């Protein structure tokens, strides 16, 4: 359907210099991202195409959960597009497959959910009842591996990396307790493989 609409020039995609007609569509499970060039008539045509898809497939698109994100929105075009699609105006970064996606560098506040996730994992573990070897195993298998997916996409800021080290270090020496205990070896030595 999209290819037929593109051939008839009903709308043009954002990257027409790379993909013929330029419509790039990312899909995963029940999420879809469509990249289009600025064109109100093309947006109306896409909306009609989505309605036709609903009628043919018997599925319902929830426009209330959908967002329109406009890049370089100097003239408030986002509101017009949101009116066409009956949806909200979104902002960067967006979440795609659990990772924030942004055309610019991520801010520290965009990394806090990842740090909070590490803290939440510690809440269910009873580190005080574990040996140091057990705590080391949990750190290696869970706390070290949870941020790897996001860090493989973006460079981790130094302060966030230090927060992760602090979480792992305190769990290793204190378990789940809040009482500060004596650290027998520097974390730099323990951190080595």
* Helices and strands (H and E) in the chain: how many: 8, 6
CA nearest to 135, candidates 165, 183, 164, 172 = 172
pLDDT, averaged across the chain: 82
Tell me the per-residue pLDDT of 43-78, one tens digit each, with 9 for 90 and over.
999 999 999 989 999 988 888 889 998 887 777 888
Nearest Cα neighbor of 144 from 190, 98, 186, 181 is: 190
The domains of the chain are located at 2-91, 104-191
Task: Report pLDDT for 55.
Answer: 92
**Which pLDDT does position 44 carry in this prediction?**
93
Distance of alpha carbon 48 from its chain centroid, rounded? 29
Give the separation between CA 116 and CA 179, rounded to whole angstroms. 20
Amino acid 128: pLDDT: 66
Residue range 99-141, pLDDT digits in tens: 888 888 888 888 888 888 888 877 777 666 777 788 878 877 7
Q: Cβ(167)–Cβ(127) under 8 Å?
A: no
φ, ψ of residue 41 to 5 degrees: the values are: -65, -40
Q: 40 or 180: whose pLDDT is higher?
A: 40
Q: Is the pTM of this model over 0.75?
A: no
Convert the pLDDT of each residue in 172-186 to its tens digit.
Answer: 777 666 666 666 677
């Amino acid at each position: 359907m999209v290819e037929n609409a593109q051939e008839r020039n009903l709308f043009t995609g954002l990257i027409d210099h790379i993909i013929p007609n330029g419509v790039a569509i990312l899909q995963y499970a029940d999420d879809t991202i469509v990249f289009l060039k600025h064109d109100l008539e093309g947006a109306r045509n896409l909306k009609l195409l989505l309605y036709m898809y609903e009628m043919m497939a018997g599925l319902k698109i929830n426009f209330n959960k959908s967002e329109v994100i406009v890049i370089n929105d100097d003239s408030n075009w986002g509101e017009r597009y949101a009116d066409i699609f009956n949806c909200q105006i979104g902002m960067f970064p967006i979440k795609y497959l659990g990772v924030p996606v942004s055309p610019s560098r991520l801010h520290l506040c965009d990394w806090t959910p990842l740090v909070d996730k590490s803290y939440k994992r510690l809440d269910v573990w009873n580190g005080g009842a574990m040996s140091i070897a057990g705590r080391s195993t949990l750190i290696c298998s869970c706390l070290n591996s949870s941020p790897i997916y996001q860090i493989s996409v973006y460079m981790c800021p130094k302060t966030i990396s230090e927060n992760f080290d602090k979480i792992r270090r305190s769990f290793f020496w204190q378990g789940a307790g809040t009482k500060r205990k004596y650290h027998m070896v520097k974390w730099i030595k323990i951190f080595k493989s």
